């Protein structure tokens, strides 16, 4: 857990109670007791081996809000290292401005598919003067452009 306290630049281990186990994952914004104060922070890792025994850890108080997904947390860690900024400031910028109920993050339904496995165009662009074709951003577009060009002349 990384607290949202400007003067504290380290991570702490906390115990996740059974009541919060289904709501807490990497990126979730939580409320904890830190040196007698209730502060908010982000879960930045799970399944870690604590420095102390599990019996000496304090429990999380609440799961406050959904935060950035795990890959964005990793990106925030890199950005903080690369531009020598505070990790908590990067996490704050990546978090939603309002409270969002914690829920499981769905894996992204996107990917880069090889051009050979791409579905054929489902419309005839020669039948209409205007057409729209969507293509994955990282894919090679040469075959798509060749299919859309007129076979002879203009």
pLDDT digits (tens, 9 = 90+) for 22-31: 889 999 999 9
Band of pLDDT at residue 49, cut at 50, 70 and 90: confident
Q: For 4-148, list the strands marked E by DSSP.
A: 29-34, 37-42, 62-65
Band of pLDDT at residue 105, cut at 50, 70 and 90: low
Cβ distance 14 to 63 under 8 Å?
no
Which sequence spans correspond to the domains of the chain?
A: 2-94, 112-154
Q: At what angle do helices 87-94 and 70-82 cross, to 10 degrees?
A: 140
Just give the CATH number of 2-94.
Answer: 3.40.1440.60
Q: In the prediction, which pLDDT does 34 show?
A: 93
pLDDT of 124 over the 70 cut: no
The two three-digit tokens of residue 67, written as one number: 């935060």
For the entire predicted model, the pTM comes to 0.65
The two three-digit tokens of residue 80, written as one number: 């903080």
């Amino acid at each position: 857990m990384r607290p949202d306290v400007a003067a504290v630049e380290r991570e702490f281990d906390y115990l996740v109670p059974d009541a919060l186990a289904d709501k807490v994952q990497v990126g979730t914004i939580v409320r904890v007791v830190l040196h007698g104060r209730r502060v908010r922070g982000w879960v930045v890792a799970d399944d870690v081996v604590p420095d102390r025994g599990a019996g000496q850890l304090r429990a999380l108080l609440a799961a406050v809000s959904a935060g950035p997904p795990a890959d964005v947390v990793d990106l925030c860690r890199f950005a903080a290292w690369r531009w020598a900024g505070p990790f908590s400031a990067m996490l704050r910028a990546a978090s939603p401005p309002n409270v969002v109920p914690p829920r499981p993050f769905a894996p992204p339904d996107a990917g880069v598919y090889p051009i050979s496995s791409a579905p054929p165009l489902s419309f005839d662009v020669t039948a209409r003067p205007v057409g729209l074709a969507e293509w994955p951003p990282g894919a090679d577009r040469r075959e798509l452009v060749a299919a859309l060009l007129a076979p002879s002349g203009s």
